[in-house]
Structure 1
């Protein structure tokens, strides 16, 4: 790459001497030179040659002296690196020039060997500065892109890493959360566009903040649906517990959000959540031109189908036994062995509960009723009927009672 040097000096013979001294570098396209006789002409030259890398300027010149030119150069957005030239006895001006941002100085009469070594040293400095700025710009762009997916602290760490550490496509064990909204299509068709915009912006923004609070990764946002990953891209030893805690926090936030908009006359649907854990193919699937950090595989599909199963079950959160059994003190109640859409094998699922709910009378009675359901006990219908009597709004108790009254038995069921 050719570096361009602007020489600003009113001595008439200097141009010839410089071109003669640097003829090899010019011939090999290491350097090119532009010349100006004073500060005003130098500024005009920079406008015509914005690619100028280095300015070598005399301090004493007509119309605009070197110190004034240096001040103008420092005001520019692309601050030009400068070497000042002055008589040895003019150290006061040289000191002023250095204080104003000059990189180095030379004394007159010019020693051309000294000029050559000073130019080479300064260009190396410029290249280091450019590389630092390039890296900073790359990091800022990376951080802006990563901030869409990762919590601010994680995005900062990833942006600071050289290469694609953690971004390359590979298999790893993860937890996946899928969320979706009931009746969203109808809302889109009926709501005012401005209301829908504000609604979705607040909803997606709010859920994302909850995810980031648990250091999850937002892999996809498709309309009203959100896909969240844990243990990716970085390792999280407690990722199963994080994922379930995050799902419960998302549920609480979504219910508060729904009630707030209901008071404003907008009937926003229930947010349904599915959670599963297992191996998945994870990484940046966008290639070199587009960043698309996401996950693919059966684990992801299962989480999505668990989310959909909530519609049949009447629940808002449905988590697989694969993730629940990894949480040391999982609090929840078993839903049953679900045969999800497109599957033949059953998967045990649970509804997570808060600490207060897990110690309540309803949870204890549900556990008793579910044990009767697993054992095909003849008292199972009265047990679930008592549960519904205790809490008529319990969707899961109602679901099982309805199944039983329709002749179903056991805990294996087709959903979705």
Structure 2
């Protein structure tokens, strides 16, 4: 690539001298020169030749001197690298020029070997800046494109090349959210294709926005089901808090979404949400030709089982003790010790609550009834009956009452 150099000097013989000294480089296409006799003419030359790579300028010139020209060049959007030339005894002006952004300087009389070396050094610097800008533009373009499909943190790491270890499959502690929609299969079979497409696009897009707002990573979207990770790929010290807050935000958003579509005559099901925390195998499972950043392991399966448990419990959000205890100032009520499918040990689960719900008298009444249930106290049944009598719209209290009426005991329960 030919470097274009603007030489600004009012000496009449300099142009011929430069062309003579650099004739080989000009012939080989390494450099080309443009000439101006003062700062004003230099600015006009740059406007006419925007491809000028660097400026070699004298300081003392008529109409506009080199220092004023340098100031104008530094104000431009695309700053030109500048080599300042002045008399050896004019070090004060040379120092001023360097402070104003000149890349380098030469003293008069010009040593053309020194000029060639300085020009080469400056061109290498310009090439490095251009390469850095090119990489930045490519990274920004890649990030903008990837952000349409991946979580921002994951998109950033992919666009910049990231740390290879982030993408390789490895064990790490994560919090996982699993979501699903009740009655989605029936909706697919009955809804018009265009309605279903609009519905799902709006649902997945809106839910993903909620996840991104909490800096979560969407690992999988399978139809109506979404898997979300926290503490992956990047470290998040408060990942348990983020996961619970995100699950509650998803629940609020999904209920508003559901109500809006119900007004349009579409019976969209409730979004069930399960949250768990623990170790998982995380990374790109797609090999070299397909990117599939996701997670596998018992932690993931348990989050999925908790999502399914909501169907039996009547809840919409169900979180494990592992994530609830890891979160700071968790607010919620105990669901019970669930024997989930595929697990040999019971898992304590909770229903997270908004602060206002947590402080409500009904929550304290539920806590007292649940304590009796745990203790296998025979007064648990009337305690839950009294709660349901006042709050018939509390499905979890209704679940426990029905279970006790059917002969159930204690807080441990088998779920499919």
Partner of residue 335, structure 1? 335
The corresponding residue for 1:317 is: 317
1:271 aligns with 2:282: no
Are the structure 2 counterparts of residues 147 and 94 from structure 1 closer, same or farther at C-alpha, using a change threshold of 3 Å? farther
Name the structure 2 match of 1:56.
33
Partner of 2:216: 216
In the alignment, the residues of structure 1 paired with residue 34 and residue 288 of structure 2 have an alpha-carbon distance, to the nearest angstrom, of 44
**Length-normalised TM-score, structure 1:** 0.72
1:199 is the counterpart of 2:221 = no
Report Cα offsets for 1:302-328 as digits up to 9, x if no partner. 111111111122210011111122234
Q: SS in structure 1 opposite 2:408?
A: coil
Q: Deviations over 1:223-260 (max 9, x none)?
A: 32222222333333332222212211211111111111
CA distance in 2, matches of 1:337, 1:280: 22
> Per-residue displacement from partner, 1:54-86 (whole Å, max 9, x unpaired)?
6434679xxxx9998854542xxxx46366899
User: How many Å separate the matches in 1 of 2:121 and 2:111?
Assistant: 15
Who is 2:300 aligned against? 300
* Equivalent residues of 2:3, 2:53 under 8 A apart: no
Partner of 1:123: 123
Q: Structure 1 unaligned segments of length 5 or more: list them.
A: 23-30, 35-52
> Does the 8 A contact of 2:5 with 2:55 survive in 1?
no
CA distance in structure 2 between the partners assigned to 1:397 and 1:247 by the alignment: 21
**What SS class does the counterpart of residue 272 from structure 2 fall into?**
strand
Q: Give the match for residue 185 of structure 1.
A: 185
Residue-by-residue CA offset, 1:282-310 (whole Å, 9 max, x unaligned): 34445666654433222122111111111
Match of 1:164 in 2: 163
d(CA) in 1 for partners of 2:61, 2:358: 85
Normalised TM-score (structure 2): 0.72
Deviation at 1:375, TM superposition (A): 2.9
Q: Give the equivalent residue in structure 2 for 1:225.
A: 225
Instruction: Give the Cα–Cα distance (whole angstroms) in 2 for the partners of residues 19 and 179 of structure 1.
Output: 71
SS at match of 1:325: helix
Q: Distance in 1 between matches of 2:199 and 2:126?
A: 50
Query: Are the structure 2 counterparts of residues 393 and 7 from structure 1 closer, same or farther at C-alpha, using a change threshold of 3 Å?
Result: closer
Which residue number in structure 2 is paired with residue 406 of structure 1? Answer: 406
- 2:252 maps to 252
Per-residue deviation, 1:371: 2.8
2:224 and 2:348 map into 1 onto residues whose CA distance is 27
Structure 1 residues 334, 322: CA separation in 2 closer, same or farther (over 3 Å shift)?
Answer: same
Native 8 Å contact 1:139 1:159 kept in 2? no
Rounded Cα–Cα distance in structure 1 between residues aligned with 2:320 and 2:114: 74
Question: How do residues 60-79 of structure 1 correspond to structure 2 at under 5 angstroms?
Answer: 71=47, 73-74=49-50, 79=51
Query: Of 17, 28, 31, which residue of structure 2 is paired with 1:33?
Result: 28
Deviations 1:372-412 (A, max 9, x none): 33333333433333333222222222222333333333333
Give me the CA root mean square deviation: 4.2
- Aligned residue in 2 for 1:261: 261
1:356 aligned counterpart, secondary structure: helix
Whether contact under 8 Å (1:174, 1:231) holds in the other structure is yes
Q: Which runs of 5+ in 2 are unaligned?
A: 7-14, 74-78, 86-109
Distance 1:143 1:90 in 2: 47
- Residue 94 (structure 1) shift: 11
| CA pair 73-148 structure 1, distance change in 2 beyond 3 A | farther
Change (3 A) 1:241 1:122: closer
Q: What is the CA–CA distance in structure 1 between the aligned matches of 2:287 and 2:45, rounded to whole Å?
A: 47
CA distance in 1, matches of 2:386, 2:84: 96
